[in-house]
Amino acid sequence: MTDKTSNAMWGGRFASGPDAIMEAINASIGFDRRMAAQDIAGSRAHAAMLAAQGIITDSDAEAIREGLLTILSEIEGGSFEFSTALEDIHMNVEARLKALIGAPAGRLHTARSRNDQVATDFRLWVRDQTDAAIEGVTALQKALLGQAEAGADWVMPGFTHLQTAQPVTWGHHMMAYVEMFGRDAARLRDARVRMNECPLGAAALAGTSFPIDREATAQALGFDRPMANSLDAVADRDFALEFLSAASICAMHLSRLAEELVIWSSAQFRFVAMSDRFSTGSSIMPQKKNPDAAELIRAKIGRILGATVALFTVMKGLPMTYGKDMQEDKEQVFDAADTLMLSLAAMEGMVRDMAARPENLRAAASSGFSTATDLADWLVRELGLPFREAHHVTGALVAKAEARGCDLPELTLAEMQEVHGEISEGVFSVLGVDNSVASRTCYGGTAPAQVRAQIARWRELLG
């Protein structure tokens, strides 16, 4: 079947229209319509520059500007009719512009190509998503800060290997995630600096002979500068890869926090109570309250990391400059961005709503021989034992307490002296969990004073 619309788009090179299968595999309008606002912004900046340089007339530029604003209004209002036959967002907009304003529409594409056009649109879209992701991460950090402030001195067990290790505070644990997500925001900001260069004006790959002003279009679109090499400008997708890489690390952090929320809200831990807003029930077990939002976030890393691997795979074997393979760069980025933003919003809501249970946190911290390291340190400080010997003595005391079915503070002085005769009454001053956390006053430690200092620092950083 001949497709006259498609023939008109391609000009005289092709005698017949594309086969339906070719049209289906070639078209990208089903997903790249998401870049409509960016495409129109780029076209407006390009038309204004062409007029300023005397390449098109002011009247044509004004007609183009008005037509593009009409199209944007139609798209935002839902009345715009997208055509698969026109392949992509660029040709859909151009065809509608021609229908609206006639001949001046044909002058818009002077001194540019779809290659630099799509590179610009996609950069603008990813830049917008980067900004949104930074805002989402910051909102989550503020929710974590609220939890940290509430429980700066609530004692809880710290874990290694998911085994009780040493007492820490709830505030300290929350602040660990503030630091993690702070690095995520920093990675996104860093990626944004590198992506903020404008490809527009590179044309198909070699630049253009028209006297364009690339500085003007870059400035109009909020870029720091034009890209310095026309080949690189149309070939590069590092900006999308960096966004996906940063998103993958952030999603991994979200998954780790989600796993802790799943564990902590279980009947075996009871460290936190999750709100009904982010929990579900069971169809058969009426007692159940499942942390489904956390479980889903825990799984979302698979989609985001999968998108990252997919785009790396698309790009890894491409010669300069543009190949149609690069049409496969968008769907996974769109999905990853949506997934990240949903996960950040859900996690922020869960963190804000969850209620820690300080009494259960304290009970867990007071069991499992969590102050064993404090005992070993006391033996080193007070008795002058080498740490390895202190470690051995402490291990023997733990074994004695375990045999008795009690924790270290419940051993009598006589029982301790059976293991090492020089142990004195002063040992009990370090065996309480409150004393343990209060003693960790080094920078970055779990002492409540240190936690509050870190909260204050982050409050100032986040504004």
Would you please indicate which residues are annotated as catalytic (active-site) residues? 161, 282
- Spatial distance between the Cα atoms of 339 and 327, rounded to a whole number of angstroms: 20
For residue 363 the two structure tokens come to 């009970």
Strand partners, 198: 226
CB 130 within 8 A of CB 188: yes
With CA atoms as reference, report the closest residue to 137 among 351, 345, 337.
345
- Spatial distance between the Cα atoms of 251 and 372, rounded to a whole number of angstroms: 35
Kindly report the number of other CB atoms within 10 A of residue 443's CB atom: 7
Q: Which phi and psi angles does 167 have, rounded to 5°?
A: -70, 140
Q: Assign 124 to helix, strand or coil.
A: helix
Residue 365 burial (10 A CB sphere; 0-12, 13-18, 19+): buried
With CA atoms as reference, report the closest residue to 267 among 168, 357, 162, 351.
357
- Spatial distance between the Cα atoms of 252 and 299, rounded to a whole number of angstroms: 9
**What single DSSP character describes residue 318?**
P
For residue 403 the two structure tokens come to 């045999």
With CA atoms as reference, report the closest residue to 6 among 80, 102, 89, 87.
87
- Per residue, the 3-state secondary structure of 45-104, as one string, reads HHHHHHHHCCCCCHHHHHHHHHHHHHHHHHHHHCCCCCCHHHCCHHHHHHHHHHHHHCHH
- Spatial distance between the Cα atoms of 376 and 419, rounded to a whole number of angstroms: 13
- The residue behind tokens 């044309």 is 203
Kindly report the number of other CB atoms within 10 A of residue 12's CB atom: 7
* Torsion angle (degrees, nearest 10) of CA 445, 450, 454, 455: 120
- The residue behind tokens 């940290």 is 148
- Spatial distance between the Cα atoms of 79 and 425, rounded to a whole number of angstroms: 82
- The residue behind tokens 């999905």 is 335
